[in-house]
Structure formats: C-alpha cells, structure tokens
Structure 1
Amino acid sequence: MTRAPRHVSVEWLHEHLSDPTLRVIDATVHLTFDADGAHVEPGRESYERGHVPGAAYLDQVTALSDPQGEAPFAAVDSDRFAAAVGEAGIGDEHRVVVYDTVNGIWATRLWWQFGLEGNDHVSVLDGGLGAWLAAGYETVTGKEQYPPTTFTARRRPERITTTTEVERAVDDPGVLLVNALDRDTFAAGHIPGSVNVPFDELVGPDGRIRPADELRHLFESVGALDPGKQPVTYCGGGIAATAAALALMELGRDDVAVYDGSMNAWTADPSRPVETA
C-alpha cells in the first residue's frame, strides 16, 4: 500500500465511505481553561451526538496518552498504541481518515502517532467535521465500531524528541525549535532560540489547511525550510506541534520531529531557561 495523502477533502471521503478497507476515526478531545488551569475531556459525547457515518471514536486521552510520561499527553509505547488501534478495528491493511470537531490539532496528533509507529496510510480530513457539515453531508448519532483486528507498530524514533535532546538542541545550530502556539503565548515564554509559527495561522477561516505557497512563506520567514537545520516542533503539550509538523511535511521536510513533552515538560524544572518577547 502506498503512502496516503496527508489530507483528504470531505468530497473524497463522502465518495469513499463505502470502501470496506477504509477506517474513519473521530479523534476529538475538548480542552478548556479556567482559573484552575487546563481541563481535558474526551470527545465521546460530542461524537455520539453527531459524527461522519460509519466513524468510530478513539479516545486519545485514556488510550493513547501515557500517565507515566514526562508530561500530560505523552505518547504511549508501541505495544500500547498497537493494542489500542487494533481494538478500534484498524489493521495494517486499512486506509485511515482521522478528523476532529474542534480545531484540527487532535486529528493531526493522531495522524502523527500513526506516523511515529511507522504507518503512513493515514490522512487528516481537511477542515474536520465543520467542513463535512458545511458541505451539506449527513451525520449520524450513537456509537459505531469496527471489528477488532491486529495492528503492527514499527516505531520511528527520529520523529519524537525528548527534553534531554531539546536541552542539547538549544545550543545546536543544526536544530531549529519551532513553537506552534499563538504569538502572545510565545512572547510570554518559550524555549531559548525558538521561532514561532502559530498553528492557527496554518489554516484558513474555514479550518482547511492553507495553500502550499502560503505555508512556505510562513516557514521560510523563520528559517524552518533551511536544509541545514532540522526542525523540531513544540507547543504547550505536544498537540498543536503536530499540526506544524504536518505542514512542514507537506512542504517536503520529512526530517521534522515533535518535542512530545513541549512546554509542560520543559517548565517542569524551573532551572531550565525561558525566553520572553
């Protein structure tokens, strides 16, 4: 099976829903903030209120995040990933389309985890459920699931970066740290030497990824397409960073890695430096 395109349109998905080798996954997670901090809730209830026909739900919070990792949302090991996606009905022979109902970054997070485990047969639904609804396509309620199967994980360690590696990268001219948070949050505090390409600037008002020439301008302006530097994307918790990684791959940077712990892990030790402005 050849590598799937990194994005597919809602029109493409609508035409292929009856394909028995296709697996459609709702990857929604709801992240909210208040005076007590961040709160994460799996999107199963919103999935049950309305989803793409035939789609199953995969809980990234409980099934694909390691509570023993160096920060929240740390990617699970290969065995746990394989068990979770196999239980969700995704095998080596399947083509997968992932989407979410929020802002796209939870879909790109699942896309990235598949790629981390050696599977390139996964596409993100461009524009997510919002684009599906805008096109006038129907949704269904309740729960759906695929028959459990076997998934083979083949970890690509070059696609994930640890805090120890980032500590070395700060002084390495061959590595460029790309912060994917919004510009105000970046200015308030980031890893020294980082550049900023906000994830919300990678998509248009309709939530669809911007054309390649616009993406190229964003990344070229901060030096992220310099062939002499390896880009490492990060954010607050390793979620938005995957949207930047996907966009960079769309531009040919197959060497991009994601700092999985991101600022959650970096700031866990107050002795690590943080730049502002």
Structure 2
Amino acid sequence: MDEDVIVSAEWLDEHREDPDVVVVDVRDAWEYDGIGHVPGAVNVPFDSFRGGGEEGMLPPEDEWAALLGKYGVDGGTTLVAYDDTHGVFAARFLVTALLYGHDRLRLLDGDYSAWMQGHETSTESPDVEATEYTVERPADSPLVTLGDVEAALDDPEAVVVDTREPEEYAEGHIPGAVNLDWKEVVDEETRGLKARTTVSEIFASKGVTPEKRVVLYCNTARRISHTFVVLRWLGYDDVAFYEGSLTEWEAEGKPLESA
C-alpha cells in the first residue's frame, strides 16, 4: 500500500473496465441493487468480511479466500473499493486484503454519493468468472500486540493515536495517546479527503509526523483502517495498529486516562 492508494473518480472511470481491476462496492445488497453502483462493480457487503475472532476483526482466512475467489480475484488483481460513508468501510476491506497478502489496492476518494454526481451508474450485476484465490500472508504485518503499544508509549520516536471521536477519547484513553478523529481529514462537502497538505498539517498538529513510528488504536476496525490508509497515502512508512479493545487494556491492570 503506497502513496497511490487513494484514487479519484476520474481515475476509477478510466480504469474500471481494465481486465486486471475489480471494483468492490462494500455497501449492503439493497443499496447496491436498489440505489445503483459503479458500473461493473461487484458487491461485497461489509458484514461478509467483518470478523471478530482470534485475530482482531479479521475474517477466517478460508472464508476470505473463498470470498475473493467468488469474484474472480487473483494475486495480480487491483482491488478498488468504495462505500457511501466517506470510504471508512471500504478502507477496512482494503486493509483486510493487505493483512492477507494482497498489495494492489486502491480506495476511491469520496464515496458513491460523490461518484453519482458526475458519473455513470448501473443496477446491473456483472458476470464474473470465479477463481481459486490463495492467501499468502506478508512477512511483516502492521498488526501489533498490547505489548507493542506499551513499548511505543515509552519510545520518544513513536506516537500512539486514538482514532475515536473526541467524546470517546475524553471518557477514557490509553495514557499518552493523542486523539485524531478519522473524520477530521474528511471534507464534508466533497465527501472525499481534504487536500493532502491540509491533511498533513492536521496530523502534524497532533505530533504525528513521518519521522515517527505511528501506532493506531480504536474500538472499531474500520476507523483504524481509514486512518491507516490515509497515512500510507501521505507517505508514512512505519504505521501499525492494535485491534484489541480498551477492555483488554484494563483487564491487564492498566489504567485509562480521562481528559
């Protein structure tokens, strides 16, 4: 996942018919069918890959492989995902793919509401030839443990970021963590991201800079995922995230801090 991870509607319109591109709509089926979708997009509803087992919020590996294979995805496929919620659910799809070893990933800047303002839509489902998808996990994963979060708190070259809403952060957070609500980088008018320089300044104002190791946590995997994707788009190389809960933090006898 690199600085090209976020793409414009114009880029998607130009590439959506490429044979090695699969456009993925992660909205519910009734939205995909009833409201319409990007022409050629397949529907992979969020709940179909929403995990919650032993590995944070990841779905079982075999279920993920079957899901991607159903839609003709292989290792050389570029996955382009979108939703209708500023990209936060689509980002989770892409991060799940990344954690299971897929690295050709793109997120639509904006969402379906933004797309349909100036681009063609469809209610027809594409014909897809299924494949056998193989999961090949990367050697290095951005997923970290509770111990890694603790280590980052003691490391002057690292910063721990809470991606929840300010009210949640104020009620209780990991001591030393800074708060950056994922929606701070979203432009409500365009439904996409704010300008790259503006987003960089927002992160820098919280002490989150490219020179530091960044460790994210939240109470929902999708919000972590959105911030992770944005940081990679900005060129941050060392970004990790913890998918455990603050309940687990407290269960280890570690206190929370309130604002």
TM-score range, shorter chain: 0.7 to 0.9
* Structure-2 separation of matches of 1:145 and 1:165: 45
Match of 1:44 among 6, 29, 44: 29
Q: Is the 8 A contact 1:233 1:242 kept in 2?
A: no
Q: 1:149 aligns with which of 103, 107, 131?
A: 131
The more displaced of 131-140 and 201-210 is 131-140
Q: CA deviation at 1:145?
A: 5.5
Report how far residue 138 of structure 1 moved: 2.1
Structure 1: gaps of 5 or more residues: 29-42
| Conserved 8 A contact 1:231-1:255 | yes
Amino acid at match of 1:16: H
Secondary structure of the equivalent of 1:123?
strand
2:210–2:235 CA contact under 8 A, matched in 1? no
Contact 1:22 1:96 in 2 (8 A): yes
Cα distance, 1:226 vs structure 2: 5.3
TM-score of the aligned structures, taking structure 1 as reference length: 0.82
Q: What one-letter code is carried by the residue in structure 1 that aligns with 2:38?
A: V
* 1:198 matched to 2:181: yes
DSSP-derived class of the 1:101 partner: coil
The question of whether the paired residues in 1 share the 8 Å contact of 2:3 and 2:234 is answered with no
Is the CA contact 2:24–2:42 (under 8 Å) kept in the aligned structure 1? yes
> CA–CA distance in 2 between the matches of 1:174 and 1:84?
39
Q: Shift of the alpha carbon at 1:89?
A: 2.0
CA RMSD of aligned residues (A): 2.5
* Secondary structure of the corresponding residue to residue 215 of structure 2: strand
- Distance in 2, matches of 1:59 and 1:145, equals 18
Identity of aligned residues (%): 31
Residue 55 of structure 1 is matched in structure 2 by 41
Against the structure 1 CA distance between its residues 148 and 3, is the aligned structure 2 distance closer, same or farther, given a 3 Å change threshold?
A: farther
- SS in structure 1 of the partner of residue 49 of structure 2: coil
Query: Is 1:211 the counterpart of 2:195 in the alignment?
Result: yes
Match of 2:229, SS state, is: helix
Give the Cα–Cα distance (whole angstroms) in 2 for the partners of residues 164 and 87 of structure 1. Answer: 37
Q: How far off its partner does 1:144 sit?
A: 4.3
Residue 116 (str. 1) matches residue 110 (str. 2):
no
Tell me what 1:7 maps to: 6
> For the residues of structure 2 that align with 1:3 and 1:198, how far apart are their CA atoms?
22
Contact 2:69 2:131 survives alignment (8 Å): yes
Q: What residue ranges of structure 2 are gaps of 5+ in the alignment?
A: none
1:91 pairs with 59, 74, 78, which one?
Answer: 74
Deviation for aligned residue 1:99: 0.3
